[in-house]
Structures are given as C-alpha cells and as structure tokens.
Amino acid sequence: MKKNVLGNDLRTLRNLDQQSNRISSIAQKFEETFGSPPTFIASAPGRVNLIGEHTDYNDGYVFPVAIDKYINIAARQRTDRRVTLHASDVNGSWEFNLDARHSISQQAPAWSRYLIGVASLLQAFGRKIAGMDAVITGDVPIGAGLSSSAALSVSATLAFLAAGSELVADGFPVPENEKKELAALCQRVEHEFAGVNCGIMDQTISLLGKENHGLFLDCRSLEHEHVPLNLAGHYITICNTKVKRELATSEYNKRRAECAKGVDILKQWIPNISSLRDIALTDFKKHEEELPILTQKRCRYVIEENTRVLDAVSLLKTRNQQITEKTDEALIQFGGLMNASHNGLRDDYEVSCKELDLLTDIARSITGVIGCRMTGAGFGGCTVSIVHKDALETFQTRVKKEYREQIGIEPEIYLCRVSDGAQVFGRKELS
C-alpha cells in the first residue's frame, strides 16, 4: 500500500512539473508576441475514444478519455471590443470586433472561425465576455482525429468567459453545472461556423475529463459517469497514420444521413424510435432485411457498437478490485471489444482506410497488445491501442518499421496520460 501511495505522489509531482513547464512556455510565447505577460491561460485537452465511435450523433454511448495534449490560449483582457489573435503554430493572425460577430470575412482563416463562433454564441446567450489579445498554441495533432477543433472551441470559450470575469486573476474555475451547457455551445460552433455536423462527445470530454478515468457518456441525456481505468501495467498508445482525413467531413455527413434513413424505415415495424440508440440488436435483426444493403450495414454497426460500449464499461466496473500487474481476463475482454469495434468500422461503417487497417493489424500481432482500433472520424488519423508496459519497446519498433516499409512514411506514436479536463490558469500559476 505504501508503495502505491508513493507511486501516486510521484506521478502527481511529475504531472504538476509538466504543467508548470507548459504554462511557462505558453506565457513566454505571449510575451514575445505582445511585449508583456498574459493575464491568464485557458487550456483544453484533446481526446481519444477507447470505444463508441460514430455513436454520439446517434444519441448513443461513448467512452472517451482526455489526453495530455492541449490547445492553449494565453491572453489578457482589453478595455475595448477588439479581439487580436495570433496562432503561433501556423504563424497566422486575425482580428475582429465583438460587435461585428454576425459577419465573418471570407478571408478569415479556418482556425479563427472557431473563436468568432464562440464569441458570437456566448453573446447570443447573454454571457459576459470582453475583448482580448491572445496567442494560440498547442500539441494536439491537427487532422489526426484527436479532437483539436473541440479543444480549440473549449479553450476559446473559457478564454472569452475569463476575459469577461473579475475572477480571472484567481484562475476562473468553471462551475460543474455549466460544463454540459458549454459543451453544447461548442458543438453548435462546429455545426454553424465550421460546417461539421458532429456529435457532443468531443466537447464534453474536453470539459469533463478526469485523470486516470474514462467518461461513460450517454449522448442523449448527457448523463455521465467517471469510470476508473485501472489499466494494471498497460498504457494507452496512439499511432498517427499521418494521412490527412480529406474525405472525413463529406463521408461523415453521408453516414449521418444513412443512419437517419434507417430510423425512418424501421419506424414502420419499431414505432416510437427517434434514433438508432432506441433499437435493440434483437429487434434490428428481425427487420434488417427491409433496409437497403448500405443502410443496413451502417445501422448494424451503430447498434452493435452501442452494445459494445455498455459491455466494455460493465467489464471495467465489475473487475476485481485487487488489480495486479498481470493482464486480467476482464481487460482482455475489453481489448476484444476494441478489436470488434474496428472490424465493424472497417466492414460495415466503412470509415477506415488501408493505413489504419495496417496499423491495427501490426498492433494486434504483437504479444502484449490486448486491443487496437481506429479512433475518430476515420479515413486517416489515428489508432488507439492498449499495450502492456513490457511490450512498449517492441510495439514502437515494429509499428514504425513495418508501417514505413509498406506505406513509405513513419507514423507518429504517442504514449498518452489520461488527463483532467479544461481549466484556466490565473495569477497563482503564472507567477
């Protein structure tokens, strides 16, 4: 027991040290840009979804974790209504006036539209915000399926609220009862300002993430539960195909349409349903032949995936509390559900690609990898694996070598820590 407490204490100290270094680096970038220190830093994590892909916009279940990669906005309040932005990672800048929130210039860079959208909706809902100078930076890979856009929307939301608050010097804590409301606002930003008809998962986990816990989220009611992971010597490992997801947005919207079509048809036999989440797998199997083949495949995947999420969370919650360093049967079963999830995404939902399938196949062939699947919208982006610590070196060596031999590029591999959700750092952390 003492050993475990000591290990937890050392891990906490390492995390605090990493956080301190991150804040210091971001503050320095702001000072280099604007000539004086920031007042506060709003920081929001990316996410990786362990299981439950493409179920969120079908009112289903998901099980993501927040990861220790962040979009950060270092800022200081202005006395006027101007917002001056500098995105240091792309060396781009943009300015706008809060009073002109309903008109977006065609010249506005894509990243700026998220901040313009956040400012517009916050004001529409009567929230007090203020002008600010801001530097945006982060290490959530763009276009990799780790929710950099959600992290940007969430950090922008907290930054504008902090700029309009008298409490910002003390860190501007976000009340728990407001986080779901803010997640919904950030989802609307994606819909109305970025043209992506996404679900609610990414924004919610970025706000509600908890260290070393997965978030079991009901995407209809937004009821949620933090479930301890207890990975017992295993690590969450993300592999980036480095393939741009050029088809993701258009195909994503097509999948939504197919799911809606399936619901409309199945209402003839299963009344009082409003989404695929309402359909039991046994009922679906009775009527699936009534659907066009393509619609049938899309619906089958979503309905089966919802069942997999429920089973996966149940496994974690009922595991023996005496977790050992050995792989336990429940964790092996969890990995099996991850594998089945990828198979469904590949065969029925058809959002995988040869690069994602290759990374998955390589990972599954390595002893010590208990599960691997694509994560995110698909057509590129990342896989997520659960890997035993003794297999990490072999995993990294083989994945890089075999992927490079077959694809011609080297994948990026991230060993991730499960982190807390978004927060604002004020005077205490910046001093």
Least confident range from 70-74, 291-295, 325-329, 392-396: namely 325-329
Least confident range from 219-228, 278-287, 319-328: namely 319-328
- Asked whether the predicted pLDDT for residue 64 surpasses 90, the reply is yes
Amino acid making up residue 417: R
Residue 30 sits in the same domain as residue 121:
yes
Residue 320 sits in the same domain as residue 223:
no
If one counts the domains in the chain, the total is 2
Name 203's Cβ contacts closer than 8 Å, sequence gap at least 6. 150, 153, 154, 182, 183, 184, 186, 187, 190
- Using an 8 Å Cβ cutoff, are 104 and 193 in contact? yes
Residue 291 sits in the same domain as residue 368:
yes
Q: Which position has the higher pLDDT, 64 or 232? A: 64
* Residue with token string 């781009």: 92
Query: At 327, which CATH number?
Result: 3.30.70.890
For residue 135, give the H/E element and its range.
strand 132-138
Read off the pLDDT of residues 356-365 as tens digits, 9 standing for 90 and up: 999 999 999 9
Read off the pLDDT of residues 266-302 as tens digits, 9 standing for 90 and up: 999 999 999 999 999 999 999 999 999 999 999 999 9
Read off the pLDDT of residues 117-162 as tens digits, 9 standing for 90 and up: 999 999 999 999 999 999 999 999 887 788 899 999 999 999 999 9
- Using an 8 Å Cβ cutoff, are 150 and 90 in contact? no
Q: Which position has the higher pLDDT, 66 or 107? A: 66
Read off the pLDDT of residues 6-55 as tens digits, 9 standing for 90 and up: 444 444 445 556 778 888 999 999 999 999 999 999 999 999 999 999 99
Residue 343 sits in the same domain as residue 211:
no
Buried b (16+ CB within 10 A) or exposed e, 202-234: bbbbbbbbbbbbbbbbebbeeebeebebbbbeb
Which 3 state secondary structure label does DSSP give 126? coil
Mean pLDDT estimate for the chain: 90
Q: Where are the alpha helices (DSSP H) in 190-247?
A: 201-208
Domain that holds residue 264: 234-416
Query: Distance between CA 370 and CA 375 in Å, rounded?
Result: 16
Told to judge if 202 belongs to the known catalytic residues of this protein, a careful annotator would answer yes
Burial class (CB in 10 A: 0-12, 13-18, 19+), 79: exposed
Name 294's Cβ contacts closer than 8 Å, sequence gap at least 6. 258
Measured at the CA of 239, the angle between CA 363 and CA 332, to 5 degrees, comes to: 40
Residue 168 sits in the same domain as residue 238:
no
* Residue with token string 């008109």: 103
DSSP at 174: P
* pLDDT at residue number 86: 97
Query: Distance between CA 185 and CA 202 in Å, rounded?
Result: 12
Query: Distance between CA 1 and CA 83 in Å, rounded?
Result: 52
**Both ends of the chain: CA-CA distance in Å?**
36
Residue 189 sits in the same domain as residue 266:
no
Share of the chain above pLDDT 70, in %: 91
Residue 39 sits in the same domain as residue 150:
yes
Residue 233 Ramachandran class (φ > 0 left, ψ -120 to 50 alpha, else beta): left
Read off the pLDDT of residues 366-421 as tens digits, 9 standing for 90 and up: 999 999 999 988 888 999 999 999 999 999 999 999 999 999 999 999 999 999 99
Name 1's Cβ contacts closer than 8 Å, sequence gap at least 6. none
Residue 299 sits in the same domain as residue 402:
yes
Dmax over CA atoms of the chain, in Å, equals 67
Residue 279 sits in the same domain as residue 306:
yes
Residue 166 sits in the same domain as residue 217:
yes
Residue 177 sits in the same domain as residue 316:
no
Closest CA relative to residue 305, chosen from 352, 274, 353, 342: 342
Grade residue 319 by pLDDT with cuts at 50, 70 and 90.
confident
Residue 274: how many CB atoms within 10 A of its CB?
10
pTM for the full predicted model = 0.89
Which 3 state secondary structure label does DSSP give 33? helix
Query: At 88, which CATH number?
Result: 3.30.230.10
Which 3 state secondary structure label does DSSP give 344? helix
* pLDDT at residue number 1: 33
Residue 200 sits in the same domain as residue 304:
no
Catalytic residue among 59, 202, 278, 348: 202
What is the average pLDDT across 206-228?
95
* pLDDT at residue number 22: 85
